[in-house]
Structure 1
Amino acid sequence: MAASADPLSLTFAALADPTRRALLALLAQGEATVNELAAPFDMRLPSISKHLKVLERAGLVVQTRHSQWRPRRLEAAPLGQAAGWLDEYRPFWEGSLDRMATYLDELQMNSKESSHDRSTRSARK
C-alpha cells in the first residue's frame, strides 16, 4: 500500500487479513513479544513480523521497550476511527435489516394464509 495512504485505508487494509485480526485479539489481552504472538500460529517468525509491520504501519500496534524486551501492544485509536466511520452507515444497514424483517414477516403471514386457505378448501370437499 502506498506510503501516502490515509489512516482509515491503512486500518481497513490491516484488518483485512485474519492472521492480523487474530494478532490484534492476542494483543487485546496485553503486551506480548513476537515469539509469544507467534506461538499459536503455524508460521515462521519472519511471517509474523511482516504481519506486525503492517499493523504498526496502520498505527494499530506499537513496539515498546523494557530493557532487552521489546513487546508489542495494541493501539486502539485507529479501531475507534474505523468504528466511527462504520457508525455513519448504521442507519442505512439497520433500516435495510428492518425492511428485510418486515418483508420476511409478510412472507410468513402470506404462507400461513395460503396454507390455511388450502386446508379449508380440502375440508369442504
Structure 2
Amino acid sequence: MRMTSRKKEILSYYEPDSLEWVIGEIGAPPFDVSGIAYLIHGMESFGKRHQLESTRRTLETMVAGGLLEKLTVYEQRQNTTQSSAGAPGVWCNVTRYGLPGKCRIYRHTGDTGGRPPIEGEAIRLDAPA
C-alpha cells in the first residue's frame, strides 16, 4: 500500500495535537465517512457524492492495509429528506473508522448519550478468509 498525502492527512486527524480541534468539528473517534470528507473537502462534500465515495474508498484501503480499524454501529442520523431540523431522524448502520485497538464497544440502549464502554474482557476475532 502506498502512503499518499491523503492517507497521511487522514491519519493526522487521529494525532493528539489535532484531536481536540477534530472533536470540536466532527466529534470523537472513531470517525464516519461524512465526517472525514467534511474535514478534507469542507462543506462542499455534503452535496458531492463523488467526494464521499472517494473518501470511503481511501478509508477502506487504509483498513485493508492495517492503518485503521472498521466498526459498524447502529445510531440515529439526521434524515436529509425531512423538512425540519427538529425531526426525529432515522436509525441506521454507520461504518466508523478508528486507529487499530482504539475502537470500543458500547452497550446499545436506544440512547446515544455518552455511555461508558461495557465492562469485561474482549478478544479480537479475525474475519473469516
Which TM class, normalised by the smaller chain length?
A: 0.3 to 0.5
Of structures 1 and 2, the one scoring higher in RCO (CA 8 A, sep 6+) is 1
Q: Normalising to structure 1: TM-score of the pair? A: 0.44
Higher strand content, 1 or 2: 2
State which structure, 1 or 2, has the greater radius of gyration over its C-alpha atoms.
Answer: 1
